[in-house]
Chains A and B, each alone.
Chain A
């Protein structure tokens, strides 16, 4: 049954009344009107729903909202501006549906490794799928966000 759940999302305290087994993604999208994270598979296979949970890239489509607790949630809306600037500069999108998940995945990587090599970026984003084929632009954008403009 619906339960009152307290969340910290993009630095703000939020309270939602929701079934505790609801995956975090639907709470972000339907209750908190955060449309950056996308539903892609519901199976943690594609990364379109990626958010930072306590700083780590996490698939929100299978993560029950009740398990979030006090861990801060960051969606693409809460990322530093440099990611949007880097992806814009590289025109790193076609349909763009996967891109917020890519940007959050990149932010997770840069928290662990400020100057990743291209190989390290590829490994970090290997679980994020893009169908339009914007991969090479995304790689350049992540390098740019890391301060290595191409």
Chain B
């Protein structure tokens, strides 16, 4: 449902929709000048400076399409300036917001720039600007196609000197646009032939190689280290210590790797961890503050008087980002300043964190974004950059730090474990009457936020812990179904067992897993068809169309799930077909069908790539992934102990894209992830009668659930 409509129809409701509201008004104000966003040179080539970074999602290509259209220039004439702390600050590249929010200001700037070009041309030709048209980088006199002037000749190299306005005349939704077509991604060819420069490829004169030596037990104190343990390495290694932060630096990368492995270090103390089997109990008993997200009708009275109630609890484990390339950062700290090359999702928040860690003024630090291995949220990138900065400051030379595999898999901030408890009641005719959800979650934000104490090296070096910003635990927790009595409460926890931060969807995957599994339990209780049952409780035509698109793909024995991501973004539904080996408990996902409406589709092939990627990664998270730990430390440290989906187990994926050229762009970077785990769990139930209420659905977990049936 649209937000306004939701508020309209739901009466006395308390809704914590703080995120979308905050985001809607973010970008344009601090950068009112068109010249902050784009420049046109003497050849008429356009350079765009914005603040969203390419994470491998195709965003650079998509924004280029949008700007090319709004300015009426060929796609190939638009280039992107790299993202640095010299660009407009558009916050983090996160939350599927690059196009839905980030592109808004850029498109407005481009539209205003076109207006400037029209005025200049009107003056030049002595006609009214209404008698002009733009195309292919030229302004034409509408009635005489031979009278034209190129953008370069009109403005080349000079400032546009105009302010970005909120509602400039925007290009009509016509079919001659490059937006809406599958322009091949500009970053793919160089990535294929080795010429693309990732952050791991940054090389500076005199650059040294660093590695980190982190304590495996959280909170451990560095007692001592023994440099004589490095004497077999044939170069002199620099060991750098700042508080509990420890690193090694060498001229040769292999020597740095050996030094980090061979350095004898003594740590003491640290936090202990509970048994993994107690994870749900620990999550439920972690202290926090209860917050009401939605309170509609009299839930307690409705539950008491209900004839048919259902209750269930769902759990989600800690999960890792699992970036294929361990994080890397390069730093050159000298002469009272620092330059940082990082695959961070936010150059500005990282700049503040590093400035604090180095005790430098913020203005003395410059952060340059360079793409890394895919990150899917807040992985180790910011930490690796901060480590490089501390090491460079200490040795006085540029330092490149790349994590080893165990550094990344053990120390990336984890998507946190959560528990959702649900109670619901059906009316006599099988409609949902009551919905009572309680969520236990810490914040899903551990991002740098401009503070050294939010980075692992900063924390180890003794930076104070910044205040908590609670984000994401209730993401997509409110469902879209018409239910008269509803209550959603979240316990905002003040701590988590493991250092946690943003992983794709934040709490959206767990909340949708719980919601849509519970819907399936209600479907079963009502003896209904899972598509019809959902349709019965939905009002919005776009939501209904998404479910209807899957009607031909659904059949008995398959699982269904639906989400309107964040209640305002993409609308997605999935059908899963699985096979369950009852002897071993192994689940094989054979086929996923996805229906997806994210409004206007800028690049159809790019969108499909995102949907496929979400579907496969979420299949991996649902079937295989959980961070493991013993009583002192994380034990999932590589691809054997933290397995992810492999080719042999990759399902077929069929996608139905519902393009809505007349609707605003909604993000597609996360939404599909949310529906996969519940669709698979519901399919397992449909096949076997066993309800999997905790992710991941490992063979042993499935065997336990099957055994419990007998």
Nearest A-chain residue to B328, judged by Cβ: A39
Question: If A35-B194, A84-B189 touch, does A1 touch B638 (CB 8 Å cutoff)?
Answer: no
A134 to B184, CA, bound (A): 15
Q: Does A94 contact B (CB under 8 A)?
A: yes
Out of A43, A93, A122, A125, which one reaches B191, CB within 8 Å? Answer: A93
A34 to B198, CA, bound (A): 13
Q: Does B221 contact A (CB under 8 A)?
A: no
User: Cβ of B648 and Cβ of A77 under 8 Å apart?
Assistant: no
A97 to B115, CA, bound (A): 41
Within 8 A of A (CB), among B604-663: 605-606, 609-610, 612-617, 620, 638-640, 644-648, 650, 652-653
Q: In the complex, what residues of B have CB within 8 A of residue A21's CB? A: 254
User: Cβ of A96 and Cβ of B647 under 8 Å apart?
Assistant: no
Q: Does A108 contact B (CB under 8 A)?
A: no
Out of A87, A122, A133, which one reaches B192, CB within 8 Å? Answer: A87
Question: If A19-B234, A26-B254, A88-B184 touch, does A131 touch B644 (CB 8 Å cutoff)?
Answer: yes
Nearest B-chain residue to A41, judged by Cβ: B405
User: Cβ of B405 and Cβ of A43 under 8 Å apart?
Assistant: yes
Question: If A35-B194, A136-B653 touch, does A95 touch B616 (CB 8 Å cutoff)?
Answer: no
Q: Does A76 contact B (CB under 8 A)?
A: yes
Question: If A91-B184, A91-B605, A134-B612 touch, does A129 touch B196 (CB 8 Å cutoff)?
Answer: no
Q: Does B226 contact A (CB under 8 A)?
A: no
User: Cβ of B402 and Cβ of A39 under 8 Å apart?
Assistant: yes
Contact with A along B118-154 (1 / 0, CB 8 A): 0000000000000000000000000000000000000
Q: Does A137 contact B (CB under 8 A)?
A: yes
| Best-buried of A30, A39, A99, A121 by chain B (most CB within 10 Å) | A39
User: Cβ of A45 and Cβ of B640 under 8 Å apart?
Assistant: yes
Out of B56, B187, B196, B324, which one reaches A40, CB within 8 Å? Answer: B324
Number of interface residues of A (CB under 8 A): 55
User: Cβ of B374 and Cβ of A137 under 8 Å apart?
Assistant: no
A46 to B646, CA, bound (A): 10
Q: Does B253 contact A (CB under 8 A)?
A: yes
Q: How far is the CB of A13 from chain B (nearest CB, A)?
A: 20
User: Cβ of A97 and Cβ of B253 under 8 Å apart?
Assistant: no
Q: In the complex, what residues of A have CB within 8 A of residue B194's CB? A: 34-37, 75-77, 100
User: Cβ of B185 and Cβ of A91 under 8 Å apart?
Assistant: yes
User: Cβ of B189 and Cβ of A94 under 8 Å apart?
Assistant: no
A91 to B605, CA, bound (A): 8
Contact with A along B51-92 (1 / 0, CB 8 A): 000011110000000000000000000000000000000000
User: Cβ of A131 and Cβ of B647 under 8 Å apart?
Assistant: no
Nearest B-chain residue to A27, judged by Cβ: B254
Q: Does A55 contact B (CB under 8 A)?
A: no
Q: Does B188 contact A (CB under 8 A)?
A: yes
Q: In the complex, what residues of B have CB within 8 A of residue A19's CB? A: 234, 252, 254-255
User: Cβ of B185 and Cβ of A76 under 8 Å apart?
Assistant: no
Q: In the complex, what residues of B have CB within 8 A of residue A97's CB? A: 56, 198, 323-325, 372-374
A26 to B250, CA, bound (A): 14
User: Cβ of A1 and Cβ of B234 under 8 Å apart?
Assistant: yes
User: Cβ of A76 and Cβ of B193 under 8 Å apart?
Assistant: yes
* Chain A residues touching B, majority SS: loop
Out of A26, A87, A95, which one reaches B373, CB within 8 Å? Answer: A95
User: Cβ of B612 and Cβ of A39 under 8 Å apart?
Assistant: no
Q: In the complex, what residues of A have CB within 8 A of residue B647's CB? A: 121-123, 125-126, 128, 135, 139
Q: In the complex, what residues of B have CB within 8 A of residue A48's CB? A: 324-325
Nearest B-chain residue to A76, judged by Cβ: B194
Q: In the complex, what residues of B have CB within 8 A of residue A83's CB? A: 192
A59 to B510, CA, bound (A): 36
User: Cβ of B193 and Cβ of A84 under 8 Å apart?
Assistant: yes
User: Cβ of B612 and Cβ of A40 under 8 Å apart?
Assistant: no
Question: If A46-B324, A95-B373, A128-B647 touch, does A88 touch B192 (CB 8 Å cutoff)?
Answer: yes
Q: How far is the CB of B674 from chain A (nearest CB, A)?
A: 15
Q: Does B707 contact A (CB under 8 A)?
A: no
Out of B371, B613, B646, B652, which one reaches A132, CB within 8 Å? Answer: B613
Q: In the complex, what residues of A have CB within 8 A of residue B215's CB? A: none
| Best-buried of B257, B405, B614, B638 by chain A (most CB within 10 Å) | B405
Q: How far is the CB of B194 from chain A (nearest CB, A)?
A: 3
Contact with B along A8-43 (1 / 0, CB 8 A): 000000000001011100100010001111111111
User: Cβ of B325 and Cβ of A39 under 8 Å apart?
Assistant: yes
User: Cβ of B253 and Cβ of A122 under 8 Å apart?
Assistant: no
Q: Does A103 contact B (CB under 8 A)?
A: yes
A100 to B616, CA, bound (A): 20
Contact with B along A113-124 (1 / 0, CB 8 A): 000000001110
Q: In the complex, what residues of B have CB within 8 A of residue A39's CB? A: 200, 325-326, 402
Nearest A-chain residue to B403, judged by Cβ: A39
User: Cβ of B55 and Cβ of A95 under 8 Å apart?
Assistant: yes
Q: Does B555 contact A (CB under 8 A)?
A: no
Q: How far is the CB of A128 from chain B (nearest CB, A)?
A: 7
Q: In the complex, what residues of B have CB within 8 A of residue A23's CB? A: 254
Question: If A43-B638, A132-B613 touch, does A122 touch B648 (CB 8 Å cutoff)?
Answer: yes
Q: How far is the CB of B379 from chain A (nearest CB, A)?
A: 10
Q: Does B329 contact A (CB under 8 A)?
A: no
B-binding residues in A (CB < 8 A): 1-2, 19, 21-23, 26, 30, 34-43, 45-46, 48, 75-77, 83-84, 87-88, 91, 93-100, 103, 121-123, 125-137, 139
Inter-chain pairs besides A41-B639, A123-B648, 20 sampled, C-beta below 8 Å: A30-B253, A35-B194, A38-B198, A39-B402, A40-B326, A41-B405, A43-B638, A84-B193, A93-B56, A93-B188, A94-B56, A94-B57, A95-B374, A96-B196, A97-B372, A100-B192, A130-B324, A131-B322, A133-B620, A136-B650
A-binding residues in B (CB < 8 A): 55-58, 184-185, 187-189, 191-198, 200-201, 234, 252-255, 257, 322-326, 371-374, 376, 402, 404-405, 605-606, 609-610, 612-617, 620, 638-640, 644-648, 650, 652-653
30 residue pairs of the A-B complex, CB under 8 angstroms, read A2-B234, A19-B254, A26-B254, A35-B194, A35-B196, A36-B193, A38-B198, A40-B326, A42-B405, A43-B639, A45-B640, A87-B188, A87-B192, A88-B189, A88-B192, A94-B374, A95-B55, A95-B56, A95-B372, A95-B374, A96-B187, A96-B192, A97-B323, A97-B325, A121-B647, A122-B648, A132-B56, A133-B613, A136-B652, A139-B650
